């Protein structure tokens, strides 16, 4: 199929936008707007985003069950417009717009009239996107995969025709996905087309599942994303540099580098062991194999963990000193440590990234270690306290580090099960993830932290003045579930927190929520579109807390975050942070954060 005149016009407009030398240095952004056949978990949108080259941006704001009318009525188009108004960092923003499935008759509250409403809605989306400086691209609706005998029944053809007319009349770019997808599905035949579904067709007589002829599973998403990307690359040469030939998902996760929307890739980029030769790729399943692989020479290495490795090897630690020796997992420079499957991880381990460069840790389950010999300190606080020394993961004096898609929890040894001595619970857990001693350029993304008290320190102490100017850390798209405090607690660092989801309860039996973000000495925190669902919390002081009375300069500047469904109230620490985020990022609207993070954060979800 030849590219439409509208697509060629779009190609020229994007090329014109790239003409100034300074503008050409900026990235391109793609925003997806549509229904369930484009949305996450049921459509091709996320698969399309995996084609977007590093340094550029792709945001999937499509939503299942929405029509061209209900998407606007629910104010979801307002979220898109807010992103478009904040587009100065991009050379061009391309908005792909696809509706039709839920505009069909018989869908109360969603269906639109094919003649008087649907074309008007599509034209309005396009004109408003143009007015905000974006390049709209109308996409004819993906075909349903319903057959009558040998022939596909394309009941969306009238909505495709209406979309086509709007594109022609308003000189808007068009992708003929309806025709191209129908052609592909017809060539497959009914049986093979069924393999594109969100769930497989159940055997005859078996209970029904979610199988249908509309929504897509991974195979269907990959197929149709490839078709759309191919049309964009072919008809819009100016986008070719922003769209890779192959999706990132086809890369071995063990060879992926840190994403560009975080400090971990802001300068040299966290590559970990991506350059490892085949001889330096190890799969390990026990303590001895793990330690041998991690000490296998000075070059880049990839260590894949198969199953759960018990660092105690079934022999209980005799003392804290014994635990320090046998439980240590030391990760050196140019190393990727990654789970080889959905259940890979560690128990009785404390993983240390110390004085290292270029380290990636992904897809691992961490059971936060329980110190066998916690020490009582009567001077710790007004009542004294128990102190433990082992974190699940420590990043110390290290640079260019990416911590991604891991899970951390105290379970099954939760704090409510600990003995009480000296009037206090004999706390055996220290941190889940601590970043200290001048570490820098770190990204912490898509992790699930659950059931823990003092979760994450960035900067270990008020006297560590050498941390000033370092501790540049990005915390994004993580889920903090029933974490009492330190998510994170920051001293000195330039820390960017965006699109994180916090859920908890100030009356929780084991981990009552105290605060989320600790704004410590000379902390400079920038916050965007985080969500705090905390039962019993009512003000910013329940979320952002200054843990001491030190009057040293500190700042927590937030925009777009929600507390229990409402805008986060003003915070006492609101002040100019003295820096701006140096990398390109696109924060999802806060209304989308919970769903996105819960679906993607944690080990086993790569």
Q: Give kind and range of the element (H or E) at residue 417.
A: none
Angle (CA) 336-341-347 rounded to 5° is 75
Tokens 């149709």 found at: 224
Residue 249's nearest CA partner among 221, 207, 216 is 221
Residue 216, φ and ψ in degrees, nearest 5: -115, 140
Q: Catalytic site residue 491?
A: no
Residues of 363-372 as b/e, b for ≥16 C-beta within 10 angstroms? bbbbbbbbbb
How remote is the C-alpha of 313 from its chain's centroid?
34
Residue 403's nearest CA partner among 431, 429, 433 is 433
* Dihedral of alpha carbons 128, 130, 134, 135, sign: positive
How remote is the C-alpha of 292 from its chain's centroid?
32
3-state class of 345 per DSSP? strand
* DSSP track, 225-272: HHHHHHHHHHH-GGGGGGB-SS-GGGS-GGGPPPPSSSGGGSSS---T
How far, in Å, CA of 573 to CA of 544, rounded?
8
Inter-residue contact 179 to 1 (CB < 8 Å):
yes
Inter-residue contact 386 to 375 (CB < 8 Å):
yes
- Which residue out of 486, 491, 524, 592 is catalytically annotated? 486
How far, in Å, CA of 589 to CA of 59, rounded?
10
Q: Which two tokens mark 320?
A: 């804290």
How far, in Å, CA of 48 to CA of 38, rounded?
9
How far, in Å, CA of 129 to CA of 131, rounded?
5
How far, in Å, CA of 513 to CA of 536, rounded?
9
Q: Give kind and range of the element (H or E) at residue 98.
A: strand 92-98
Whole-angstrom CA distances from 175 to 51, 86, 120, 468 are 17, 26, 19, 51
Inter-residue contact 266 to 584 (CB < 8 Å):
no
Inter-residue contact 36 to 101 (CB < 8 Å):
yes
Burial class (CB in 10 A: 0-12, 13-18, 19+), 124: middle
Which residues neighbour 267 within 8 Å (Cβ) at sequence distance 6 or greater? 400, 441
Active site residues: 486
């Amino acid at each position: 199929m030849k590219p439409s005149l509208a697509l060629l016009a779009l190609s020229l407009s994007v090329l014109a936008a790239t003409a100034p030398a300074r503008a050409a240095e900026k990235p391109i952004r793609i925003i997806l707007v549509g229904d369930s056949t484009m949305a996450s978990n049921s459509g091709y949108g996320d698969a399309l985003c995996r084609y977007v080259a590093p340094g550029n941006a792709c945001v999937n704001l499509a939503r299942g069950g929405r029509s061209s009318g209900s998407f606007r009525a629910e104010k979801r188009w307002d979220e898109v417009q807010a992103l478009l108004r904040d587009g100065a960092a991009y050379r061009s923003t391309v908005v792909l717009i696809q509706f039709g499935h839920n505009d069909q008759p018989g869908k109360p509250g969603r269906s639109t009239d094919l003649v008087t409403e649907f074309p008007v809605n599509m034209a309005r989306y396009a004109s408003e996107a143009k007015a905000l400086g974006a390049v709209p691209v109308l996409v004819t609706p993906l075909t349903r995969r319903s057959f009558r005998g040998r022939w596909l029944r394309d009941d969306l053809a009238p909505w495709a025709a209406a979309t086509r007319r709007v594109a022609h009349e308003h000189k808007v770019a068009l992708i003929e996905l309806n025709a191209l997808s129908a052609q592909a599905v017809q060539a497959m035949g009914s049986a093979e087309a069924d393999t594109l579904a969100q769930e497989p067709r159940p055997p005859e007589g078996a209970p029904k599942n979610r199988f249908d002829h509309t929504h897509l599973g991974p195979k269907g998403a990959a197929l149709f994303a490839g078709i759309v990307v191919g049309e964009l690359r072919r008809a819009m040469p100016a986008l070719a540099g922003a769209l890779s030939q192959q999706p990132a998902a086809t890369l071995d996760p063990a060879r992926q580098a840190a994403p560009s929307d975080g400090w971990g890739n802001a300068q040299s980029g966290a590559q970990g062991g991506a350059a490892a030769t085949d001889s330096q790729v190890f799969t390990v399943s026990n303590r001895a194999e793990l330690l041998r692989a991690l000490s296998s020479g000075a070059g880049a290495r990839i260590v894949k963990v198969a199953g759960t490795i018990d660092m105690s090897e079934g022999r209980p630690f005799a003392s804290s000193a014994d635990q320090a020796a046998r439980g240590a997992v030391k990760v050196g420079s140019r190393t990727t440590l990654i789970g080889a499957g959905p259940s890979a991880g560690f128990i009785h381990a404390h993983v240390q990234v110390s004085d290292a460069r270029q380290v990636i840790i992904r897809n691992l389950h961490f059971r936060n270690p329980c110190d066998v010999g916690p020490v009582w300190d009567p001077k710790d606080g007004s009542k004294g306290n128990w102190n433990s020394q082992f974190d699940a993961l420590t990043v110390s004096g290290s640079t260019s580090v990416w911590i991604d898609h891991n899970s951390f929890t105290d379970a099954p040894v939760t704090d409510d099960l600990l003995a009480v001595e000296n009037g206090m619970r004999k706390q055996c857990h220290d941190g889940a993830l601590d970043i200290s001693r001048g570490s820098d350029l770190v990204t912490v993304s898509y992790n699930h932290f659950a059931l823990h008290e003092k979760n994450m320190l960035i900067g270990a102490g008020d006297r560590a003045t050498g941390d000033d100017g370092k501790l540049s850390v990005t915390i994004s798209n993580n889920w903090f579930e029933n974490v009492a405090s330190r998510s994170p607690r920051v001293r000195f660092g330039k820390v960017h927190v965006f699109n994180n989801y916090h859920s908890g309860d100030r009356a929780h039996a084991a981990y009552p929520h105290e605060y989320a973000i600790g704004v410590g000495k000379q902390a400079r925190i920038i916050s965007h579109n985080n969500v705090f669902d905390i039962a019993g919390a009512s003000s910013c002081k329940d979320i952002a807390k200054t843990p001491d009375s030190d009057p040293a300069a500190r700042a927590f500047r937030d925009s777009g975050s929600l507390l229990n469904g409402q805008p986060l109230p003003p915070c006492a620490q609101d002040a100019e942070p003295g820096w701006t985020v140096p990398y390109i990022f696109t924060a999802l609207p806060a209304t989308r954060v919970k769903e996105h993070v819960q679906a993607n954060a944690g080990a086993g979800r790569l």
